[in-house]
Amino acid sequence: MKKIILLFSIGLIIANQAYAQFSFYPIDNFENGKFAEGGRWWRFGEIKAEVERAERSEGQDLVTMSTGNYVLHLSGKTSDWYVGGVGTYLGIDAAPYSRFQVDVSGNGDYSGKLVIELYEDDNGNYNIEKDPKSYLPLRDDKWVAEITILGHGFTRYSIPCSAFRLVNPGVGDGIWNPDQKNGSGGLVEMQLVAIANQQKSVVDFSIDNILLTY
C-alpha cells in the first residue's frame, strides 16, 4: 500500500497540483530524462545515479501517477553503512517555504535511510566552504533530516523545515534563515545521502518530485 507521510503535520499535499492552488519551488522532477552530473547535479561516494522511465501498472495511486515519465534511480554497495549520495546547487531565497518534499520508492530488502542535507549561507558570499576532510561547512549552517525508505511503491515525504536539525553548531549563526538578505546567498546547496540498513549491504531506491512548499 502506497503512503503519504507528513512528518509532524496533518493533511495531504499533492505535488502535481497547479500553481494557482499550491505555491512551491521545484528542485527537480527529472522529466528531461537526464541526470546532469557535472552540471546541475553532482554525485559522491559509491552511489550510482541513473534517470529511468517510471514503472506503470493498473490502479496506481495519486503519488505514483504524479511521478511523470522519469524518476532518479539510486543504488550502491557499502561495507560500513554509508553509501554516498547526490547534490545540487540551489542559490535561492527559501525564506517563503516551510516544507521540504520528496517522493521515494524503495526496495523492501535494500532500502535503508535517506538523509536530506540543506546548506544555508551565513557569511554572505553565496558559497559553502567545507572542511576537506569532514566536508562540514566552515562558516555556514548545515541542517539535516532523516527518513526511512519504505518498500516498493512511491511514498510522499513532506518535512517541515523546523524539523531539520543543526549538525554543526557554533560555525554559522545557528538560525534557520535561508533568505537572501544582507549579502547572504540563502539556501545554497542540497544533498541527499544514502545509508544502508545493515553495515555491509546495498541500497536500491528511486526518488522524484523534489521541491520546497509553503
Instruction: Please give the average per-residue pLDDT across 113-126, as a whole number.
Output: 97
Exposed (0-12), middle (13-18) or buried (19+): which is 11, by Cβ within 10 Å?
Answer: exposed
* Domains of the chain, start order: 4-10+23-213 (2.60.120.430)
Q: What is the pLDDT of residue 48?
A: 96
Alpha carbon distance 13, 40 (integer Å): 27
What count of residues does the chain have? 214
pLDDT band, very low/low/confident/very high, at 101 (cuts 50, 70, 90):
very high
pTM above 0.85, yes or no: yes
Rg of the chain, C-alpha, whole Å: 17
**What ranges make up the beta strands (E) of 127-186?**
141-148, 155-160, 165-166
Could you tell me where the DSSP H helices lie in the chain? Answer: 62-65
Q: What is the pLDDT of residue 4?
A: 58
Instruction: State the pairing for strand pair 201-213/187-195.
Output: unpaired
Is the model's pLDDT at 3 over the cut of 80?
no
Residue for grid cell 493498473 = 58
Instruction: Please give the average per-residue pLDDT across 122-130, as a whole number.
Output: 96
Angle at CA of residue 160, ends 89 and 15, nearest 5°: 70
Exposed (0-12), middle (13-18) or buried (19+): which is 71, by Cβ within 10 Å?
Answer: buried
